[in-house]
Amino acid sequence: MIVRAIFVGLLPLVAACGPVPVDQAERSCLRDAEMAERPRGSIAMGVGSGSGGTRSYGSVELEISSDYIRGRDPSDVFNRCVQRRSGQMPERVLADQPGWRGVR
């Protein structure tokens, strides 16, 4: 009886994990393709002064995907992502996606 109650309680969660519409998957998979193409990062530098004198500071933030490290083609990464999220192939190839900048 307890197992049945737990299973019934988990049904909405399992249903929420189901496939999404293809256009939604295409939009969300653009980031995966971009990360497969090249790493993203930023550098922040600054100078501050206080009672201890003037100090400089900085930070570096770098984001690298495993697809980039493995040298995967961004189009393949995009197609696999859309297939995984929607259960269907993309309606438009990566190069035709709005917002895709690609290597120039």
* Distance (Å, whole) CA 103 – CA 30: 14
The DSSP letter of residue 71 is T
Binned at pLDDT 50, 70 and 90, residue 2 comes out as: low
pTM (global) more than 0.85: no
- What share of the chain has pLDDT > 90, as a percent? 57
Domain ranges of the chain: 20-96
Residue 47 phi/psi, 5-degree rounding, is -130, 135
Q: Is the pLDDT of residue 5 over 70?
A: no
- 63 beta partners: 40
Please determine, for residue 54, whether its predicted confidence score (pLDDT) is greater than 70. yes
The torsion of the CA quartet 41, 63, 20, 5, rounded to 10 degrees, works out to: -130
Q: What is the pLDDT of residue 9?
A: 63
Return d(Cα 91, Cα 83) in angstroms, integer: 11
